[in-house]
Amino acid sequence: MAAAVADAARRAWNAVAWYVNGVTGQSRYTAYIAHERERHPEREPLTESEFWRAHYAQQDADPGARCC
């Protein structure tokens, strides 16, 4: 019984973490790293701060359908 409760709590926590990572955009950097390792293993990936700097520069250059 205790193991089932612990497993349910772990799954709930993982679901919340997955949602928060998606909302905050953290999953974008994780996806970028996975892409770079799979498609461009010879290339050194950007650091997280370099990635976000480039991401925001691209958004500023081409705002697209953003509301603000």
Q: b/e per residue, 20-45, with b = 16+ CB within 10 A?
A: eeeeeeeeebeebeeebeeeeeeeeb
Q: Is the pTM of this model over 0.85?
A: no
- Average pLDDT of 17-24? 83
Give the angle 35-40-45 at the CA atoms, nearest 5°: 70
Q: Is the pLDDT of residue 60 over 90?
A: no
**Could you give the residue ranges of the DSSP H alpha helices within the chain?**
2-24, 26-39, 48-61
Closest CA to 56 of 48, 14, 13: 48
Check if the beta carbon of residue 55 is closer than 8 Å to that of residue 29. Answer: no
- Average pLDDT of 7-31? 87
